[in-house]
Amino acid sequence: MARIKEILPALALITALIATWWGAVIATHSVIFPTPWKVITGTFELLKDGTLWRHIGASLLRVGLGFGLAVCVAVPLGLWMGWVAGAYRTLNPIFQILRPISPIAWIPIAILWFGVGDASPIYLIFISSVFPMVVQTTVGVHTIEKRYLRAAENFGVSRRTLFRQVVIPAVLPQVIVGMRIGLGVAWLVVVAAEMIALHSGLGYMIMDSRNAGNRYDLVIAGMIIIGLIGLSLDTTMRILEGTKWARWRYAH
Amino acid sequence: MRTKIEVRDLKKSFASDKGPLAVVDNVSLTVQEGEFVALVGPSGCGKSTLMSMIAGFLQPDAGSVVIDETLRTRPDSKGILISQQGSVFPWLTVRENLMFGLNGHAPSDKRTVAERYADIVGLKGFEDSYPHELSGGMLKRTELARALAVKPDILYMDEPFSALDALMSLRLRNELLQILAKERHTTLLITHDVEEAIHLADRIVVLSPRPTRVQTIFPVPFGHPRKVAGREAQELRVRILSELGVDREEIG
C-alpha cells in the first residue's frame, strides 16, 4: 500500500502527459504525428513480424561487446594508473583530453577505420564507455584509505594478498559506479551510431521508420523501448551495487 | 630482563608554510622485553609521530630505533600498530580479517588460529559478520584479535580506546590486561588519559609539548589487578597531571 502511494504521483503525471499528447493530436488534426493508440498498435505490428526482437537483439549485442571490451581494458588500466604514479602522470593528461570528445564526433573516423558493419558501433561504444570506467577505477585506487594500506604493510603480506584482499575489494564499489556510468553512455551511443549506415538495431529502426513512409508511430515506439531498456540496464547495475562486494561502502 | 626497544636521539620535523616544524626533538627511550610502557603527553605534541617512527612507518630525520639489537627501517609483523581510527578491513568478515596476517599457515590452520583468537577476545559467534554489523567495542576486539593472531613481539597502541565510551573503554582495558597476563607482549601505548596509563602500564613516560621530548618517567609500582581509585594511584595521577601542567586546584 505504501509503495503504491509512492509511485502514484509519477503514474499520475505519465497518465496526464499521455492524455495531453492524445488531446493535442486530435485537436490539431495532425496526419503525421500519431496518437498513443497508434503507437501501441504499431508496436504490436513490429512484435508480430519479429522485427522488433531482431533490432533489440542487435542493439544489445553491440552494447554487450563494446561495453564488455571496455570493462576488460578499463579495469586493469585504471588499477595500474591508480597504483603506479608514473603511469597516472603519463596517461591521465591524454585521457582528460579524449574524454570530453563526444562519441558522435568519432563516427566519421569509426567509419573510416571499421567500415559500416558492426565493428564501427562497437568501437564507438568502447571508446565512450572506457574513459569513465578508467577514471572511476583510478579514483577508487587513489581513495583507498591510508590506514588500510598501512595495516597491510604492517602484516607484511605478499603482493598477491595485498591486491586480492585489500586493493581489489576496496576499489570494487568505485568500479561498479564506473560500470553504471559506462553502460549508460554505451546505451546512448549505440542508438546514435545505428542511425548512420546500419541495417539493424533500434537506432536504425527509428531512422528507417521515418524514411520509409513517415511511420512516426514506430519512431515513438522505438524511443519508448529504448528508454525502458535503458532503465532496466541501470536497474541491473544498481542491483550490483547492492551486492556484498559493494555494500560495505554504503553501510555506514 | 632484556632490552627490546632502544630509541636513540630521535628527531623529526615536517615542512610547513613557516619553514620546518620540529615535532620530535631528541627522544631517547628504552623498553624492556615484556614491559608495558605508556606515553602520555598533551594533544598535538607529536606522540603519534614518535610512535610511527618506532613502529617503522616513518623515517626519522636523525637518531635510530633498534629492536632486538637490529636497526629498524620498516614495519613488519613483529610489531603491530593499533590506531585510534582502526584499520579492520570493512570488506572482509571478522574471520577473514583475523586470517589476514597469517602468512605461511595452511588454510585450515589459519581458520583454527582465527577461531581461537575470536574466542579469546569474545567474538565467538561473530566470525562471519562484516565490520559494519559490529559495535565500536566489537570492532576494537576484532582489531586486537587480528594483531594478537600473528603473535607479535610488540603491540603499538595509539589511543586505541579513546573513540569508545568510558564503560566500553574500561572493559577493553581489563580484557587487554587479562590477555597480556596470558600472552606477554611488549606494549607501547599512547594515551592522553592518565588514568588509563596508570591502569595499564609498568612505566609512564611524560612527553613535553611540541617539539616533544621525554620530560619525566614514572614507574608504576602497583601489581595487577589494580585499584585506579586507590590513594597511591591517585597521588601518582596528581603528580603526572602536574607534570603535564595541570594545577593541583584544577584536579580537585
**pLDDT tens-digit profile of A138-196?**
999 999 999 999 999 999 888 888 998 999 999 999 999 999 999 999 999 988 888 87
Contact between A196 and A109 under an 8 Å Cβ cutoff? The reply is no
Task: Please judge whether A248 and B77 are an interchain contact, meaning their C-beta atoms are less than 8 angstroms apart.
Answer: no
The span from the CA of B220 to the CA of B215, in Å, is 16
- CA quadruple B183, B186, B190, B194: dihedral sign: positive
Residue B199 grid coordinates:
591502569
Percent of chain A topping pLDDT 90: 66
The span from the CA of A138 to the CA of A142, in Å, is 6
Contact between B77 and B150 under an 8 Å Cβ cutoff? The reply is yes
Structural domains of chain B sorted by starting position, each given as residue range(s) with its CATH number in brackets: 3-78+153-251 (3.40.50.300), 89-151 (no CATH)
B137 φ/ψ angles, rounded to the nearest 5 degrees: -65, -40
Q: Report whether pLDDT(B109) > 90.
A: no
Quote the pLDDT of residue A197. Answer: 63
pLDDT averaged over every residue in chain B: 88
Q: How confident is the model at residue B249 (pLDDT cuts 50, 70, 90)?
A: low
Q: For chain A, what are the domain ranges?
A: 61-200+230-250
What tens digit of pLDDT does each residue of A86-133 get?
Answer: 999 999 999 999 989 988 899 889 989 998 888 999 999 999 999 999
Percent of chain A topping pLDDT 70: 98
Task: Please judge whether A154 and B89 are an interchain contact, meaning their C-beta atoms are less than 8 angstroms apart.
Answer: no
Quote the pLDDT of residue B135. Answer: 87
Q: Which of B73, B89, B97, B150 to mutate to test the interface with A (most CBs of A within 10 A)?
A: B89
Q: Which residues pair with B39 in a beta bridge?
A: B190, B205
Interface A-B, measured as beta-carbon pairs within 8 A, has a size of 62
**Closest chain B residue by Cα to residue A162:** B100
Is the full-model pTM beyond 0.80? Answer: yes
The span from the CA of A46 to the CA of A33, in Å, is 18
Q: How confident is the model at residue B56 (pLDDT cuts 50, 70, 90)?
A: very high
Residue B148 grid coordinates:
594478537
Contact between A157 and B101 under an 8 Å Cβ cutoff? The reply is yes
Residue A216 grid coordinates:
512516426
Task: Please judge whether A157 and B130 are an interchain contact, meaning their C-beta atoms are less than 8 angstroms apart.
Answer: no
Using a CB-CB distance cutoff of 8 angstroms, which residues of chain A are in contact with residue B86?
Answer: 147
**Closest chain B residue by Cα to residue A252:** B132
Quote the pLDDT of residue A185. Answer: 93
Q: What is the arithmetic mean of pLDDT over B39-44?
A: 86
Q: What is the arithmetic mean of pLDDT over A50-68?
A: 93
The span from the CA of B155 to the CA of B207, in Å, is 20
- DSSP for A181-243, please give it: HHHHHHHHHHHHHHTSS-SSSHHHHHHHHHHTT--HHHHHHHHHHHHHHHHHHHHHHHHHHTS
Amino acid identity at A130: V
**Distance, in angstroms, between A174 CA and closest chain B CA?**
13
- C-alpha pair distances (Å), B144 with each of A144, B81, B84, B86: 22, 10, 12, 10
Q: How confident is the model at residue B79 (pLDDT cuts 50, 70, 90)?
A: very high
Quote the pLDDT of residue A187. Answer: 94
Q: Quick one: fold of A61-200+230-250?
A: MetI-like fold (1.10.3720)
Q: Report whether pLDDT(B252) > 60.
A: no
Contact between B135 and B116 under an 8 Å Cβ cutoff? The reply is no
- Identify the weakest region by mean pLDDT among A77-81, A243-247, B248-252: B248-252
Residue B76 grid coordinates:
613488519
Tally the residues of chain A. Answer: 252
Q: Which of A144, A154, A166 to mutate to test the interface with B (most CBs of B within 10 A)?
A: A154
- Interface check for B58 against chain A (CB to CB < 8 A): the answer is no
* ipTM of this predicted structure: 0.88
